């Protein structure tokens, strides 16, 4: 992969994280949902698809995309009703 493309993904990720941490958004959507890209070849990324955790769960610090140079996964904010009691997977 081209380093410029990965740098663009990292920048997008940083900007997206800033958006997700907006206090008004957190009030209405306090949970984050991991969405894997269907073309992702890493099994753990597919395993995380649909995972919903509270926005401040420590798991996000290590697993917020991109998780590698080929990662095209993303995170979206969701309402509390989408949280089903999931816990963060162990590494």
pLDDT at 41: 62
pTM > 0.75: yes
Each residue of 59-91: pLDDT tens digit? 999 999 888 777 788 999 999 999 999 999 987
**If you average pLDDT over residues 40-60, what whole number do you get?**
86
Long-range contacts of 53-62 (CB under 8 A, 24+ apart): 53/83, 53/86, 53/87, 53/88, 54/30, 54/83, 55/20, 55/21, 55/26, 55/30, 55/31, 57/88, 58/88, 59/88, 59/89, 60/32, 62/91
Each residue of 19-35: pLDDT tens digit? 999 999 999 999 999 99
Residue 42's pLDDT band, with cuts at 50, 70 and 90, is low
């Amino acid at each position: 992969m081209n380093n410029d493309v990965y740098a663009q993904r990292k920048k997008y990720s940083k900007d997206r994280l800033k958006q997700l941490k907006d206090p008004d958004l957190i009030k209405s959507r306090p949970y984050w949902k991991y969405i894997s890209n269907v073309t992702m070849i890493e099994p753990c990324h597919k395993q995380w698809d649909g995972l919903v955790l509270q926005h401040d769960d420590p798991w996000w610090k290590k697993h917020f995309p991109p998780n590698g140079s080929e990662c095209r996964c993303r995170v979206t904010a969701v309402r509390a009703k989408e949280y089903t009691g999931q816990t963060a997977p162990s590494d």
